[in-house]
Amino acid sequence: MPKSVNQKQKLLFLLDYLRQNTDETHTVTTPQIIDHLAANGIRAERKSIYNDIQTLCDYGYDIIRTEGAHAGYRIADRTFELPEVKLLVDLVQSSKFITTKKSRQLIGKLEQLVSKNDAKKLQRQVIVADRNKTSNEKIYYSVDVIHSAIAENRQIRFHYFDWNVRKEMQLRKDGRFYQVSPWLLTWDDENYYLVAYDADAGKMKHYRVDKMLDLSAVNQARCGRTDYEQMDIASYSRKNFGMFAGEETTVQLLCDTSMTGVIIDRFGASVAMRPYDDTHILARAQVAVSPQFFGWLAGLSTHIRVISPDSVVNEYQIFLQEILRSYTDMQ
């Protein structure tokens, strides 16, 4: 049989066909493979298919031949198994910093990692539109610029915005650029943050990446290396609730024993903790005292109480009183 025009692409078409149409419960037969190749302008005989399959196996692909009622071929080795791809889809869906549009694009690409039949299973779990997603479509460009600046030891500058009551972006610092030395990208409280050194303030700060606009690298070397190398980023994230900074203080918390897991989840397994009585534990942790920390405490009702230092106890009481007063004033 004379060779067809696309004969050199035969193995590629065969491999793609196996990837798209086979999995643990689906196989393709030799006639189906021959028909698929023919549809793409490639002539093939049964014997040549056997040889091509063996060539792919010799190269390292795990292609299984099954016998019986469902005799055929299926590809067994994939970079990602279906449960792994489902996990990645869940992460994309739940990530607030990824826009709805980009979420759908990424999920579409993830579907290409599995067979067509398994991709249908992914579609049944895809719910993106109602999630609380960012609207900053340039975040992917921003992340790339930040990574490049870190690799090249360069500073960056950007505008930083808040939302106003008209749901409009309002630039901080009257529209002036921030200029900082980027050191690390981290994930906390469902948001992507840049940890960077602010030379004017003389300390490390963090910034929400989805709130950055007009970001670019600056041809100046980064500063703040000593501060960064002395920084424990895991501890930093645990202390700063929702990445809101405050005065760092060691607090003692009296907790119901049922709150043991909550304390470990928040402050890590190394948190100082001991039994207090039959129904309580005493925990000690360093936190950045802020309204976000107090909000976390309030959400746990009477199950966790601050017992020291007195200054934090007083601040928390004032925090609660002001909330109560705001409701009393409405009457």
Residue 130 banded pLDDT, cuts 50, 70, 90: very low
Neighbouring CB atoms inside 10 A of 89's CB total 20
CA distance 154 to 250: 35
Q: Who has greater pLDDT, 319 or 267?
A: 319
- Give a yes or no: residue 129 inside a domain: no
CB 156, CB 217: distance < 8 Å: yes
Can you give the pLDDT at residue 244? 60
Mean residue pLDDT of the chain comes to: 85
Shared domain check, 224 and 144 = yes
Which of 231, 250, 275 finishes a domain?
231
- 289 and 215 fall within a common domain: no
What CATH number corresponds to the domain at position 154? 2.30.30
Residues of the domain holding 308: 241-328
In a domain, 133, yes or no: no
Q: So what's the pLDDT on residue 131?
A: 52
Residue with the bigger pLDDT between 192 and 132: it is: 192
Q: In what order do the strands lie in the sheet with 247-256?
A: 272-275, 280-289, 247-256, 304-308
54 has a pLDDT exceeding 70: yes
Q: Are residues 144 and 223 in the same domain?
A: yes
Number of domains within the chain: 4
Specify if 1 maps to a domain.
no
Out of 231, 252, 267, pick the residue that ends a domain.
231
Last residue of a domain, one of 231, 266, 282: 231
Question: What pLDDT is attached to residue 221?
Answer: 97
Report for 73-82, 132-141, 227-236, 277-286: range of highest mean pLDDT? 277-286
Prediction pTM value: 0.58
152 & 211 share domain? yes
Quick one: average pLDDT of 246-270? 86
Q: Phi, psi at residue 106, to the nearest 5°?
A: -65, -40
Write the pLDDT tens digit of every residue in 71-106: 789 998 788 888 888 888 877 877 777 777 888 888
pLDDT on residue 190? 67
Q: Tell me, what's the pLDDT at 253?
A: 94
Judge whether 253 lies within some domain.
Answer: yes
Residues 147 and 205 in one domain: yes
Q: What is the CATH number of the domain that holds 67?
A: 1.10.10.10
User: Do 295 and 265 share a structural domain?
Assistant: yes
Residue 110 lies in a domain: yes
